[in-house]
Amino acid sequence: MRKTGCLLLYFLAVIVSHHTCAQLKLNLHNSWGFNLVDLEKATGSPEFDENLPADTRQLVEWDRFYYNGEVQLLKTWNEGLDLGVGLGFNRLYYWEERYRNLFDTQFQFDYGTIWTLEVSVIANYNFGDWFLHASPSLQHFFWDDTYTAGLALGVGRTIPITETLTIPVVLKNDLVFGNATTIAPSLGLGIQLAL
């Protein structure tokens, strides 16, 4: 976790130290979508089937609701390119499995919601009010304290409200790599302030 914070501070220092006359933007971003992950592969348990032995762990409940919340600091390097960093959270999915030990009569349940902490490097290429979005990331799983890579790709549009306030709307696909890769198309909405 400490390495993740140091990496974020390093990228912030690099961004702020170059082209100090360029514009900084602070973006509070949220997106909601649906995760296409293979849950059987991700959890290591098959979906419930009464024909399986009673002591087999089986998925009995799950949802694939995906959420990404992120604070982004962007810097305009030239007319069409914003580069920056982001720090956020991802809710990947919820799962519940049931099982029982060989001599038990009652079923036991394991369940959990899978969250990651995300540190990302962001590039937005602007053309008018539209932009292309790409952000590779480092993902830290809270569930088992492991790390993996991620990537978000999308297209968006900014809706100007005032000279310093815009609303970015983004249609993107978030990928979180692992033994079962998260593929999460989502719709994002933000509040962006020019600093």
Yes or no: say if 22 and 77 are a contact pair by the CB < 8 Å rule: yes
Please tell me the distance from the alpha carbon of residue 12 to that of residue 15, in angstroms, as a whole number: 5
Structure tokens at 65: 């609701």
Mean pLDDT value across the chain: 87
Which of 2-16, 87-101, 121-135 is least confident?
A: 2-16
Each domain of the chain, given as residue ranges in start order, spans 2-194
Q: pTM value?
A: 0.82
Closest to 70 (Cα-Cα) out of 5, 137, 118: 118
Greatest alpha-carbon span in the chain? 71
Structure tokens at 123: 């590039």
Yes or no: say if 160 and 166 are a contact pair by the CB < 8 Å rule: yes
- The pLDDT value given to residue 19: 46
Quick one: CA torsion of 90, 166, 16, 68, rounded to 10 degrees? 0
Residue with more model confidence, 100 or 155 = 155
- Tokens 């799950």, located at residue: 62
- The pLDDT value given to residue 108: 78
Distances in Å between the Cα of 50 and the Cα atoms of 46, 99, 107, 165 are: 11, 12, 13, 56
Please tell me the distance from the alpha carbon of residue 19 to that of residue 30, in angstroms, as a whole number: 28
Residue with more model confidence, 130 or 61 = 130
Q: What digits encode the pLDDT tens for the residues 105-120?
A: 677 788 899 999 999 9
- The pLDDT value given to residue 58: 79
Fold of domain 2-194:
Porin (2.40.160)
Please tell me the distance from the alpha carbon of residue 95 to that of residue 64, in angstroms, as a whole number: 9
Beta bridge partner(s), residue 133: 124, 154
Q: Taking residues 159-171, report their average pLDDT.
A: 96
